[in-house]
């Protein structure tokens, strides 16, 4: 029995360390991700069009009166919504946004705490991705080969993965803001799939800790449910990657 427990521990450590090579998928600013109902792109397009029409009208009035406007010196002019006029200022977009994002000194303690808790989301997401995927691999091998020590290792990793999934879901609400739905439907799906994964992993971990003494059918059912949970985790990781790596096509070959 001590030998089996030692082997279980070694298997768990080996699989856990190797699976931690799964990359973390971070999130950006909630507003940039399309969090919350907010002001959509249509509003900004209408505002830009209205601003352009107003400038054209002013230009026409000056030409009718025999005067020409002076082009002011300085940075590229801005249109309503904060966008540079097309063809001007390219290459500098977002520089001010990044510097402002890095400097939170002008924010209150509560707002800075909210932002900081959101950043922890990118720290903890390693563990549910790595541990749940590795738990499924160990469980599938243990069931197929009749290796109880591998199934024991899978249960340990699933517990760790479930704790990580709960933490990731908790901090994810700070990262994406506390909204029930978003104008970005991918973010909405990411929110609720994350909650589903967290709840499902906790229930499955609880079942694994109390389970099935030499019941082959229940062991196979557990492995199937763990496989479904693993698919959910991988989909969730893919959706999370869309916010940092170029959108829904970020995994194109």
Task: Spell out the per-residue pLDDT of the chain, length 253, in tens.
Answer: 455 566 666 665 655 544 444 444 345 567 777 888 865 555 556 656 766 777 777 777 777 776 655 555 555 555 444 444 444 444 444 434 444 455 677 889 999 999 999 999 989 998 999 999 999 999 999 988 888 899 999 999 999 999 999 999 999 999 999 999 999 999 999 999 999 999 999 999 999 987 656 677 888 899 999 999 999 999 999 999 888 777 888 788 8
DSSP 85: P
Distance CA(202)–CA(89), nearest Å, equals 50
Strand segments (E) across the chain: 78-79, 83-84
In the prediction, which pLDDT does 70 show? 54
Distance CA(196)–CA(233), nearest Å, equals 10
pTM, two decimals, is 0.66
In the prediction, which pLDDT does 39 show? 59
In the prediction, which pLDDT does 99 show? 47
Q: φ, ψ for residue 90 (rounded to 5)?
A: -65, 145
Contacts of 122 (CB under 8 A, 6+ apart): 24, 25, 26, 27, 175
In the prediction, which pLDDT does 195 show? 97
In the prediction, which pLDDT does 119 show? 93
Burial of 5 (0-12, 13-18, 19+ CB in 10 A): exposed
In the prediction, which pLDDT does 23 show? 41
Contacts of 119 (CB under 8 A, 6+ apart): 175
In the prediction, which pLDDT does 2 show? 52
State the Cα torsion 43-44-46-51 to the nearest 10°.
Answer: 140
Distance CA(104)–CA(149), nearest Å, equals 49
In the prediction, which pLDDT does 44 show? 54
In the prediction, which pLDDT does 183 show? 92
């Amino acid at each position: 029995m001590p030998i089996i427990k030692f082997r279980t521990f070694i298997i768990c450590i080996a699989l856990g360390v190797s699976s931690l090579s799964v990359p973390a998928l971070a999130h950006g600013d909630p507003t940039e991700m399309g969090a919350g109902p907010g002001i959509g792109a249509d509003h900004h397009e209408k505002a830009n069009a209205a601003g352009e029409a107003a400038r054209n009208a002013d230009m026409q009035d000056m030409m009718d009166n025999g005067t020409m406007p002076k082009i002011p010196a300085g940075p590229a002019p801005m249109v309503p919504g904060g966008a540079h006029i097309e063809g001007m200022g390219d290459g500098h977009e977002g520089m001010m946004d990044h510097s402002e994002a890095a400097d939170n000194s002008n924010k209150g303690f509560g707002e800075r705490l909210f932002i900081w808790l959101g950043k922890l989301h990118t720290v903890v997401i390693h563990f549910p991705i790595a541990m749940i995927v590795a738990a499924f691999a160990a469980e599938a091998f243990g069931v197929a080969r009749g290796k109880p020590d591998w199934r024991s290792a899978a249960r340990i990793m699933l517990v760790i993965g479930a704790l990580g999934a709960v933490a990731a879901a908790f901090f994810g609400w700070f990262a994406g803001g506390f909204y029930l739905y978003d104008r970005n439907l991918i973010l909405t799906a990411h929110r609720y799939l994350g909650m589903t994964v967290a709840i499902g992993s906790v229930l499955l971990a609880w079942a694994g800790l109390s389970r099935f003494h030499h019941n082959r059918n229940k062991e196979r059912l557990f492995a199937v449910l763990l496989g479904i949970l693993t698919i959910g985790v991988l989909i969730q990781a893919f959706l999370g990657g869309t916010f940092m790596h170029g959108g829904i096509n970020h995994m194109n070959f």
